[in-house]
Amino acid sequence: MNFELTEEHRMIQQMARDFAENELKPGVIERDEKQYFPKELLQRMGELGFLGMMVDPQYGGGGMDTVSYVLAMEEIAKWDASAAVIMSVNNSLVCWGLEKFGSEEQKQKYLTKLSTGEMIGAFCLSEPEAGSDATQQKTTAIDEGDHYLLNGTKNWITNADIASIYMVMAQTDVELKHKGINCLIVEREAEGFQLGPKEDKMGIRGSDTHSLSFIDVKVPKENRLGEDGFGFKFAMKVLNGGRIGIAAQALGIAAGAFERALEYSKIRKAFGTEIMNHQAIQFKLADMATEIEASRQLVLKAAFEKDAGLDFSTTSAMAKLYASKTAMKCASESIQIHGGNGYVREYHVERMLRDAKITEIYEGTSEIQRIVISRNLIRA
């Protein structure tokens, strides 16, 4: 068993670290306050290959493994969790799903642009009445022969305003229940597509989140992903991989909060010495470092299993469950170590706590992860 990263892994890790510290960090507080992510940074992420890391080079991607992807995700999330979730959705849910299950025509038309950042994609599963129970899709796609007629509403859609295409789950045959769900690729310019107001969120405020409405949107049959009725299976398969990305995001938030706390403990003095010399602070740092390392090993193991073609559903659920919990704890403890300074934006850690919470909710809540893990254990 080899725990050493390859030279290529270390180069990718360092490139992501440099980008995060030199280009993401400087404006991250302002982006959080004003709730935006500038096009120039999005373009820069595309130029550096962060938006299609695992896509085959024949479709414009980096051809990298999942380990490389999570290493980059961690470094970016250390400073900007909003940038990390933009990256995660485009890589894990959109590009990977399209490359794995899309037709060659779909790959040539969309994947070649998604992998370079020329296009950004969004994944549309959640609805007002279909969150954790994703089988309860109310959005419908009526088969009209050469096209589907799409009607319905999606909410909590990441990348909604910056996206060019949307992977939309919709019910084609109600009697078949979840086996009657299809995934349709919908272009932003489609007539009848409407973007709802931006959500005013607690965290990841640099990432835009909106509801979407589809009113008699005509979607060509060639834009259906996979065979008829494959939509629900498609969603579950890509979410398994997506959880690795969100686990890496949570790991990055935890590691970033820890690094800020460690730095601060070396310069802040109390009772005549730096606070790093007080056992109360030392024990906090020790616990944070231990839980971060445990999270990192789970994330890397899930990435390794995915790259090896193994069943990674249990490990990815474990990684997301544990890393998101670690992110919450480390961000909170980092604020405690910073004292009053931790409560203000200037020191970054209050934002990290706000950003951490969503990692316990999206792409499967912590409760859903426990269901996935326990079911897999019982079936084994």
> Tell me, what's the pLDDT at 338?
98
Q: What percent of the chain has pLDDT over 90?
A: 97
Domain limits, the chain: 7-114, 121-232, 234-379
Average pLDDT over every residue of 217-240: 96
Point out which residues pair with 121 in neighbouring strands: 165
Domains 121-232 and 234-379 share a fold: no
In 3-state terms, the chain is what percent helix, strand and coil (to 5)? 60, 15, 25
Tokens matching residue 217: 């949107």
For domain 234-379, the CATH superfamily is Butyryl-CoA Dehydrogenase, subunit A, domain 3 (1.20.140.10)
Query: Do the beta carbons of residue 212 and residue 124 sit within 8 Å?
Result: yes
Q: Which amino acid is at 75?
A: E
For residue 1, pLDDT over 80 is answered with no
Known catalytic residues are 363
Q: How many whole angstroms separate alpha carbon 126 and alpha carbon 132? A: 8
What CATH architecture applies to the domain 7-114? Orthogonal Bundle (1.10)
Point out which residues pair with 130 in neighbouring strands: 127
Helix axes 81-88, 66-77, angle to 10 degrees: 150
Sorting pLDDT into bands at 50, 70 and 90, what band is 260?
very high
Q: How many whole angstroms separate alpha carbon 202 and alpha carbon 206? A: 11
> Tell me, what's the pLDDT at 2?
83
In 106-223, at which residue ranges do the beta strands (DSSP E only) sit? 121-124, 140-143, 147-158, 165-171, 181-187, 193-198, 209-220
Each residue's pLDDT tens digit, 168-180 = 999 999 899 999 9
Give the residue carrying structure tokens 């933009």. Answer: 86
For residue 185, pLDDT over 90 is answered with yes
- Residues in CB range of 30: below 8 A, 6 or more apart: none
Each residue's pLDDT tens digit, 135-173 = 889 999 999 999 999 999 999 999 999 999 999 999 999
Would you tell me which CATH number, out of the four given (3.90.1720.10, 2.40.110.10, 3.40.50.970, 3.50.50.60), belongs to the domain 121-232? 2.40.110.10
Tokens matching residue 339: 């004292």
In angstroms, how far apart are the furthest CA atoms of the chain? 79
Rounded to two decimals, the pTM is 0.96
For residue 27, pLDDT over 90 is answered with yes
Q: Residue 327 CA to chain centroid, in angstroms?
A: 14
Point out which residues pair with 184 in neighbouring strands: 168, 224
Q: Which amino acid is at 248?
A: A
> Tell me, what's the pLDDT at 341?
98
Mean pLDDT for all residues in the chain: 97
Sorting pLDDT into bands at 50, 70 and 90, what band is 46?
very high
Question: What burial class does residue 233 get, using C-beta atoms within 10 Å of its C-beta: 0-12 exposed, 13-18 middle, 19+ buried?
Answer: middle
Q: How many whole angstroms separate alpha carbon 241 and alpha carbon 322? A: 16
